[in-house]
A and B are shown apart, each in its own frame.
Chain A
Amino acid sequence: MTTAAITPEIVQQHQLTPEEYQKIVDILGREPSYTELGIFSVMWSEHCSYKSSRLHLKKLPTRGKLVVQGPGENAGIIDIGGGYVIAFKIESHNHPSFIEPFQGAATGVGGILRDIFTMGARPIAVLDSLRFGRPDGKETGARNRRILSGVVGGIAHYGNCFGVPTVGGECIFESCYDGNPLVNVFALGVCKKEDVFYARAAGVGNPVIYVGARTGRDGIHGASMASAEFTEESKQKRPNVQVGDPFMEKLLLEACLEAMQTGAIVGIQDMGAAGLTCSTCEMGSRGEVGIEIELDRVPQRETGMTPYEIMLSESQERMLLVADKGREEEVFRVFRKWGLEAVEIGVVTGDGKLRVRQHGAVVAEIPNRELADEAPLYDRPHTAPPEVSKAPEMPDGVTVQEALPALLAAPDICSKRWIWEQYDFQVRTNTLAGPERADAAILRIKETGSSVAMSLDGNGRYSYLSPREGAKLAVAECCRNLSVVGAEPVAATNCLNFGNPERPEIMAQLVEAIEGMGEACRFFGTPITGGNVSLYNETLGEGIYPTPVMGIVGLMKTAEPVTIPFKRAGRSVVLLGGVGNCGQERFGCTQYAKEIAHSLWGLPPELDMEREKRLQAAVREIVAGGLAESAHDVSDGGLAVALAECSFGASGIGAQIDLASDLRPEILCFHEGPSRVLLSTADAKRVAEIAARHGVEAPVVGTTIEKGIEIRQRSMTLGSWEIAALKSIYDRSLEEQLSARKAHV
């Protein structure tokens, strides 16, 4: 093996500390080669090793009676009964989406889809959680709009062509995401329980097979910096972001699922971050075996690639699999049918090492387990999250009558139709409730006759004010959204988007959010089966709001979904959970504070988890019992916004409500206290009985009416609106913000 001198500068360029380098020398018993240094640097990067978060992630609950596979594989797996399982996970693609929004987001979708089908499950749904800078920002608006258009276009391009419906998600705008948008993509797939595949190599002598796209020089910077050797040998600077080919991925999906049916595949893993390096050493490590590969056999789309480049390339749409020796041809036959390359590049060995050869000579030889599982682990110092002003800044002179239309036009609240109409949300004909139809997306599973509901939620404002409470609120909201459509929440995945963990106050945000999330997931019985941590979301020292995003899935019977809009006039409007309570301190996190007071202060809404759980049980029983004609939880924008959203259906039915409360009108109408659901029913008596049995308040606050919305407080009118006028604002706002302003940019 040729060994060039590794200088401290080269070590530093690989973002490894001197201590980490020493650990590498200890593991190898010698100095590493460049290629080996590159391999260690990507595997020990924050992205692959979770070295700052791993210690705390252990605090999360991961087990449950339905959990077939928890964290540590490509996706978590849950038993849904009837002999079937679902595989799901959420992943971030934040940094690439900022650099190249279209391809960054597209390859984000591609990556998470491969994580699902590498487990043997056919992807049936995608949801995405997006954060951008404000589209109306004075200096940054134009860039934010360009990033939004690019990201949405990229998600649509990849998902639509691949043939997976994008059925929901969320999209929030804050100036803290100006230089750092968040693109978190959730995917879910389904397969028979006995058809699950794992990313584990086994069987000494079994062939290691490379399938899919060829390896190029793209994405080499993805997880580590270039070395001197690297820059010398490749003069051209390649963009960090890879280019996705959804057609290739579609072929790869069909070919992999078909090849899995042959019974000749032992283990399989996609090549995502850190490409060939990660897939070889992780498969070897999980199976406690070695893997030896010859780089000359790796399909390459460029000539003269170095071992460093081939091992670190993040070219998309590639998979690595181990087949039963002697049955290779069965696998090759399937890939030939789909017009894909499949090449035997190596063999499983018994020595536990990753051995890489080029032209027959060994260019890297590293013990798999140490490389994959013994990355450095840091207990980074954490103090307290940054202080935020407690002083309320309530504006004077804004009436409820004026505030509601203003909030309905706010980018966080207004309809996101402009976004989701670009997504095929129906392909595979399982979508019972797609975007903005119900509080959660609902997909039927044709094979079992049951359905899966999914919700993604996170609130950076809440989490900034209190990372612990913000994370708990995200879990509660997800579970509430599922309960509102009648689904029982069963399992979760998380995406933790934070700033630089080397800053103790940021690390404190991360630790508190994880602890809060763990507590809530334990309480609501939704173990976390996997997820993703994205750190260093900062630009010029300015961090994002801590943004933990939850993705939770629930199970339910297949039935006509209970959707958001009121259906008929003359029905009782019930505010399950009551009007709630809120002081000025807990009003500073609301959309009202953001859009009307242009401020942020105090604390997030107060969550009583016991109360929340009772509410969820009650609403599930009401909805499953067919008593609710419509149901929608009260969240962003508070009760008035929820009421308006319930009035925007095709039927043109609104409501007149009268609230018996002494709260200040704007607090009453716009506070975001959780544990509340607005529903319409023809049988208020039975709804009240069920609510009482669960110990939940269920005041009848009004009646559904034609064409209008009216809110009263103790018989005094706070506001009254024509539905058509409000709906037009709600429907058009986003497009206007995105297109009208383009004209003068």
Chain B
Amino acid sequence: MRFGVIVFPGSNCDHDAFYALSHNLGQEAEFVWHDSTSLGNLDAVILPGGFSYGDYLRCGAIAKFSPVMQAVKKFAGDGGLVLGVCNGFQILVEAGLLPGALVRNAGLKFVCRELRLRTETTDSPFTCALQKGRVLRVPIAHGEGCYVADERTLDELESEDRVAFRYLDNPNGSQRDIAGILSRERNVMGLMPHPERASDPLMGSADGLGIFQSMLQAVPAVRR
């Protein structure tokens, strides 16, 4: 399977995602520069964490205008798998590929911490290799990870089974403890915690690998 990792100026988890995919998952990975207008022959795309364009103005607000985001939108529209982690989630929300917004943590401070996530659905290409209710230990590292949306959107996310993960110990004030959500077509996921940091037992947890393994399992069904 061939993953693309988008590199925006200021992305800083790009190497980590690349390493987890190529080394821990054992799949092909390549970097995609932010001014690329096409994605080539990829099976899935990762928008990594970091501070794209310095996160000036608003997290992800400038990145959404990157040329590569047109290509990502098209890729997603064609049913390609798109996973946005942390800053990548913020960019997906800004770009309109996912609903809601990510605002300043309730504690007003950046928080780096390992915490527990509950798998809320297995009906997605990002969670199909997990079990519903399974608790994953995955770290967070963000200052703006508080997920907010209007009540109707939140109800819709829940009724359509699009909440992928919830925090067991909500670290940032996210509404309804939401840590990760799916697009309506279920092929785009945004997640504040960092699965690429929990893909190697040496790092304290390999639970995050389950998300990438799900993608691996799902791809033949989605693309081929």
The reply to whether A558 and B202 form a contact with Cβ atoms under 8 Å apart is yes
Q: Which residues of A contact B10 (CB under 8 A)?
A: 161, 247, 250-251
Q: How far is the CB of A11 from chain B (nearest CB, A)?
A: 43
**Chain A nearest CB: distance from B44 CB in Å?**
20
A250, B203: Cβ atoms under 8 Å?
A: no
Q: Is the CB of B54 within 8 A of A428?
A: no
Most buried by B among A248, A427, A429, A431: A429
A429 touches B51 (CB 8 A): no
A250 to B141, CA, bound (A): 18
A421–B114 Cα distance when bound, in Å, is 10
CB-based nearest A residue for B111? A421
A-B CB contacts (within 8 Å), total count? 78
Query: Is A425 positioned at the interface, with any CB of B under 8 Å from its CB?
Result: yes
Interchain CB contact under 8 A, A162 and B197:
no
Known: A247-B56, A421-B111, A421-B112. A431 touches B12 (CB 8 A): no
Answer whether A427 and B13 are a contact pair too, CB < 8 Å, given A422-B109, A422-B112. Answer: yes
Is the CB–CB distance between B112 and A423 below 8 Å?
A: yes
| Contact assessment for A161 and B141 in the assembled complex, using a CB-CB cutoff below 8 Å | no
Range, interface on chain B: 20 to 34
Asked if A424 and B112 sit within 8 Å, CB to CB, the answer is yes
* Docked CA distance A446–B18 (Å): 13
Most buried by B among A421, A423, A432, A446: A421
Closest beta carbon of chain B to A19's beta carbon, Å? 48
Q: Which of B99-142 contact A (CB under 8 A)?
A: 109-113, 139, 141
Q: Mark A409-427, 1 if CB is under 8 A from B, else 0.
A: 0000000000011111111
Cβ of A293 within 8 Å of any chain B Cβ, yes or no, is no
Q: Which chain A residues border B197 with CB–CB below 8 Å?
A: 426, 429
Residues of chain B lying within 8 A (CB to CB) of residue A21: none
* Interface membership of chain A positions 223-246, coded 1 if the CB is closer than 8 angstroms to chain B and 0 otherwise: 000000000000000000000011
Instruction: Indicate whether A331 reaches chain B with its CB closer than 8 angstroms.
Output: no
A682 to B55, CA, bound (A): 50
Please report the C-alpha to C-alpha distance between residue A560 and residue B200 in the assembled complex, in whole angstroms.
Answer: 11
Q: Give residues 277-301 of A contacting B (CB, 8 Å).
A: none
Cβ B202 vs Cβ A444 within 8 A: yes
Q: Is the CB of B196 within 8 A of A429?
A: yes
* A432, B205: Cα distance in complex, Å: 11
Verify if A160 is at the interface (C-beta below 8 Å from B). Answer: yes
Query: Which of the residues A423, A429, A432 comes within 8 Å of B16, measured between beta carbons?
Result: A429
Q: Is the CB of A427 within 8 A of B51?
A: no
Within 8 A of A (CB), among B151-208: 194, 196-197, 199-200, 202-203
Q: How far is the CA of A537 from the CA of B58 in the complex (A)?
A: 39
Contact of A339 among B9, B55, B110, B112 (CB under 8 A): B9
Tell me the bound Cα distance from A714 to B56 in angstroms. 63
Residue A338 at the chain B interface, CB threshold 8 Å: yes
- Give the chain B neighbours of A628 by CB distance below 8 A: none
Subset of 8 A-B contacts with CB under 8 Å: A161-B10, A163-B12, A163-B50, A420-B112, A423-B112, A426-B203, A428-B16, A446-B19
Give the interface of A toward B (CB within 8 A): 156, 160-163, 245-248, 250-251, 338-339, 420-429, 431-432, 444, 446, 558, 560
Which residues in B have some Cβ–Cβ distance to A below 8 Å? 9-10, 12-13, 15-16, 19-20, 49-51, 53-56, 109-113, 139, 141, 143, 194, 196-197, 199-200, 202-203
**New A-B pairs, 19, CB < 8 Å, besides A444-B202, A560-B202:** A160-B143, A163-B50, A246-B54, A247-B9, A247-B10, A247-B56, A250-B12, A421-B111, A421-B113, A422-B111, A424-B112, A426-B112, A426-B141, A426-B197, A427-B12, A427-B16, A428-B16, A429-B20, A429-B203
